Amino acid sequence: MSVGAGGATHRPDRPELTAWCDRIDRLNEAVGWLMGPMIIFVTGAILYEVVSRGIFNIATIWVSEATVYGSAAVYLLTGGYAMLHRRHVRIDALFDRLSVSAKRRMDLLALPFLLAYALTLLVVGGQTAWTSFLQHEGTGTPWNPAIWPIKACIPLAGLLLLLQTFSNTLRDMGIIRPATNSAPSEGQA
């Protein structure tokens, strides 16, 4: 960063890096919006099961696993969306009392742990999903759906989280300009 006339701080002009981070932000925004209707599906499936079983005494073999699969996909794939909008769990009672610079230091302190988590999801989850795919792994229930599609969400979740962490960190450190279409960073609120 450089200081211009009147003491104004100017961020370095890095249009390629800014464009890359903007694409990451848009990707996680799109994934978040695409996964939203899955909650409606899960709710509808549970309602169908309750009515089917409770009123017509007809049980289904697919609803339980379908709702678990749908919920798992939403939970996993919207991690980057939550990171984009700064909605991951923190101890707000303490964090909100910190200065902007202290918040940034805390985020940087947590960064190695977040990176380790995301990389573990990516690498170990990828190995697990690939093994599941090669083995044609099913649940072993009467419906017996394939498990690999949900297991494939694990490394994808790690990748989306890793990319959004990269974008947020560059923005928070002032290396590139803040996002204009996402939730404000802690220093901007």
Query: What would the pLDDT profile of 98-157 be if each residue is shown by its tens digit?
Result: 898 888 888 889 899 999 999 999 999 999 999 999 999 999 999 999 999 999 999 999
Q: What is the pLDDT of residue 136?
A: 97
Which residues make Cβ contacts (< 8 Å) with residue 69, sequence separation at least 6?
Answer: 145, 149, 150
Q: What is the pLDDT of residue 144?
A: 93
Q: What is the pLDDT of residue 187?
A: 42
**Domain ranges across the chain:** 13-172
Evaluate if residue 93 carries a pLDDT over 60: yes
% of the chain exceeding 70 in pLDDT: 88
Instruction: Report the DSSP beta bridge partners of residue 2.
Output: 10
Q: What is the pLDDT of residue 2?
A: 44
Q: What is the pLDDT of residue 7?
A: 45
Q: What is the pLDDT of residue 181?
A: 56
**More confidently predicted of 152 and 181:** 152
What average pLDDT does this structure show over 89-97?
77
Evaluate if residue 39 carries a pLDDT over 60: yes
Reported confidence tier of residue 92, pLDDT bands at 50, 70, 90: confident
Evaluate if residue 162 carries a pLDDT over 70: yes
CB atoms under 10 Å from CB of 176, counted, come to 22
Q: What is the pLDDT of residue 153?
A: 98
Q: What is the pLDDT of residue 72?
A: 96
* Average pLDDT across the chain, whole number: 88
pTM of the model: 0.83
